[in-house]
Amino acid sequence: MAAGFPRIFVSHLSGIAVFDPNGDQVGRVRDLVAILRLQEGHTERTPEGTRWRTVADRPPRVLGLVVELGTRRHVFLPMTRVTGIESGQVLTTGVLNVRRFERRPTERLVVGELLDRRVRLVETDEEVTVLDVSVRQLPTRRDWEIDKVFVRKGPRGGRFRRGRGETLTVEWSAVTGFALDEEGQGAENLLATFERLRPADLANVLHHLSAKRRAEVAAALDDERLADVLEELPEDDQIEILGKLKDERAADVLEAMDPDDAADLLGELPEDEKERLLALMRPSDAADVRRLMSYEERTAGGLMTTEPVVLTPDATVADALARVRNPDLSPALAAQVYVCRPPDETPTGTYLGTVHFQRLLRDPPFTLVGSLLRDDLQALAPDTALPDVAGFFATYDMVAAPVVDDGGSLLGAVTVDDVLDHLLPEDWREAEFDPEREVGDGLRP
């Protein structure tokens, strides 16, 4: 840390790289862990009556950083192991404990739990919204603390409501209310901090928040973003979040999910709840999900998505390339198009074959896809068992494969990511590292 112990706002720390003494990156900062230090408080009279006020006049001590490793595991890095924060990077001693981070009851996640809170200015008793907080290293060079709070006056808004209220930076002791439980805490500034995260990484952030904060963040996400994040969360988190949404919103989010993921999630719900949500979905989306739920989970039919790129044989290469450019398609689904007789929505007319993306790039734009078919590989039957599906992918180096019924109609496509999801242990997102790989103690004080 440079001389003078400069102030660092936590929104600038989120996502920056963490390096060991050899210059090797070990992960990225996802949050800070702090512990509040409060005086005992006092009573005061207000127009509404007498109340007890706790004033946090002692700045919170920052215990350490939550660091996301390359494996997406969150671990705890004590501030005593941080040798410097400069030029958009964190330098460490290299001593790191790779046990999964678990927040203790007395600890607070600075980004996850303090931003967007409604607190009060001590001097005027005015309610304000926390937009950011800053941390600084103490002269001892061992301890860090939160020293300033950046707030906005007026109604709850956040960075997505510009021009709503005066902003100011105050000392930590100038505000009160951080220690109180808050109902309906917003999530605008937390989401602004993590807006560039991929769905899988944002899902990992949500997984480590409290259930209350998860629900608040989920409520603030738009339907498409929440659908993408839900697909990456463990099953228990999916059910918890969906259960806290209003039925109409839950149905909208399910519609935005990939049909196979929506079917997997609905399959874990009680029958009455499942039917209630299906009834609220658009009939076409509900029909796709119901069709997927009719297959055994660990079969090609249970694994497939009903929304591959389907073209008729008179479509051109230009048409096909325009379809696979869709940014909402996963790389596996965009890898090839499926050529079928009309109708061109699953279940289609007669399935004719596939055309790989690489072949599309080699031929003139006006070429008809019907002349480029690859039909030498047999399609999967919907009842093909998962081990056979995996063997098919491994044998032919596939990233996606068609699923066709006895009548020759394309039902959908299985992608390699869905195969992996079902081959890995159910708790693979929670899997612990081998303790023998841990280095040093790195424990919280």
Q: What is the DSSP letter of 114?
A: I
- Choose from 77-86, 107-116, 398-407 the range with maximum mean pLDDT: 398-407
Contact present, 300 and 381 (Cβ < 8 Å): yes
CA distance 56 to 178: 8
Cα 293 to chain center, whole Å? 25
CA distance 258 to 237: 17
User: For the segment 159-196, what is each residue's pLDDT rounded down to a tens digit?
Assistant: 444 456 899 999 998 998 887 766 667 777 788 878 87
Q: If you search the block for the tokens 């228990």, which residue do you land on?
A: 236
Q: What is the DSSP letter of 429?
A: G
Contact present, 73 and 192 (Cβ < 8 Å): no
Question: Lowest-pLDDT range, 1-10, 96-105, 235-244, 321-330?
Answer: 1-10
**Amino acid 2: pLDDT:** 41
Does residue 290 carry a pLDDT above 80? Answer: yes
**Domains parsed from the chain with CATH numbers:** 8-187 (no CATH), 221-294 (1.25.60.10), 310-423 (3.10.580.10)
Cβ neighbour number for residue 425 with a 10 Å cutoff? 8
Helices (H), 140-270: 188-193, 199-207, 211-220, 223-230, 235-243, 247-256, 259-266
User: What average pLDDT does the segment 314-342 reach?
Assistant: 95
pTM: 0.71
Cα 240 to chain center, whole Å? 15
Does residue 40 carry a pLDDT above 50? Answer: no
* Mean pLDDT computed over every residue of the chain: 86
Closest CA to 238 of 212, 268, 258, 270: 268
Phi, psi for 59 (deg, rounded to 5): -60, 145
User: What average pLDDT does the segment 110-137 reach?
Assistant: 92
**Percent of the chain scored above 70 by pLDDT?**
86
Does residue 397 carry a pLDDT above 70? Answer: yes
**Amino acid 56: pLDDT:** 45
Contact present, 386 and 419 (Cβ < 8 Å): yes
Closest CA to 267 of 428, 381, 422, 393: 422
Confidence band for 84, pLDDT divided at 50, 70 and 90: confident
User: What average pLDDT does the segment 314-331 reach?
Assistant: 94
CA distance 439 to 245: 42
CA distance 4 to 6: 6
Does residue 198 carry a pLDDT above 70? Answer: yes
CA distances from residue 321 to 104, 105, 144, 400 in whole angstroms, order as listed? 51, 53, 53, 17
User: What average pLDDT does the segment 62-81 reach?
Assistant: 90
User: What average pLDDT does the segment 106-122 reach?
Assistant: 90
- Choose from 10-14, 209-213, 410-414 the range with maximum mean pLDDT: 410-414
User: What average pLDDT does the segment 96-120 reach?
Assistant: 87
**Amino acid 98: pLDDT:** 81
- Residues pairing with 153 in the sheet: 128
